[in-house]
Structure 1
Amino acid sequence: MRVYLPATFAMLAGLKETGVLTARSGWGFAVTPALTEFYSAGDEEEIAHAAFLDASEASLRLLAIGDEEDFPHRRVVVSVDVEDAVVEVQPDQGESIVKLNPPQISVDDLAAIHIDIEESEAATKSAIEVIDASDLGDEDAELAVGDALDNFMAFYDPTELPFLVELL
Structure 2
Amino acid sequence: MRVYIPLTLSGLARLHVAREIAPAPLTAYAVTPALREWYLSGSEEELEYAALSRAAVASLRLVATELGVARRRVVVAADVPDRVAFADPELALSPEALGEVRLTEAVPLGWLAAVHVDAEEAAEDVQAAAEAVGAADQGDEDAQFVVDGVADHELLWYGVQEIDRLV
Please confirm whether the aligned pair reaches a TM-score higher than 0.5, indicating the same fold.
yes
The within-5 A match list for 1:18-167 is 18-22=18-22, 26-67=26-67, 69-71=68-70, 73-93=71-91, 94-102=97-105, 104-165=106-167
For the 8 Å contact 1:134–1:142, the answer to whether it is kept is yes
What letter is aligned with 1:82?
V
How many aligned positions are there?
Answer: 162
User: Residues 30 and 23 from structure 1, CA distance in 2 versus in 1: closer, same or farther, beyond 3 angstroms?
Assistant: farther
What letter is aligned with 1:127?
A
What letter is aligned with 2:98?
E
Secondary structure in 2 aligned to 1:64?
helix
Kindly state the Cα deviation for residue 15 of structure 1 after the two structures are TM-superposed.
Answer: 1.1
TM-score normalised to the size of structure 2? 0.91
For the 8 Å contact 2:59–2:74, the answer to whether it is kept is yes
Unaligned runs of 5+ in 1: none
Kindly state the Cα deviation for residue 119 of structure 1 after the two structures are TM-superposed.
Answer: 1.0
For the 8 Å contact 2:24–2:104, the answer to whether it is kept is no
Using the alignment, how far apart are the partners of 1:92 and 1:51 within structure 2? 18
Using the alignment, how far apart are the partners of 2:126 and 2:25 within structure 1? 23
TM-score normalised to the size of structure 1? 0.91
User: Residues 24 and 85 from structure 1, CA distance in 2 versus in 1: closer, same or farther, beyond 3 angstroms?
Assistant: closer
For the 8 Å contact 2:25–2:104, the answer to whether it is kept is no
Identity across the alignment (%) = 40
Which sits farther off after the overlay, 32-41 or 91-100? 91-100
Q: Which residue of 1 is the match for residue 94 of structure 2?
A: none
Using the alignment, how far apart are the partners of 1:143 and 1:92 within structure 2? 28
Secondary structure in 2 aligned to 1:98?
strand
Question: How well do the aligned residues superpose, as a CA RMSD in angstroms?
Answer: 1.4
Secondary structure in 2 aligned to 1:152?
coil
* Runs of 4+ that moved beyond 4 A: none
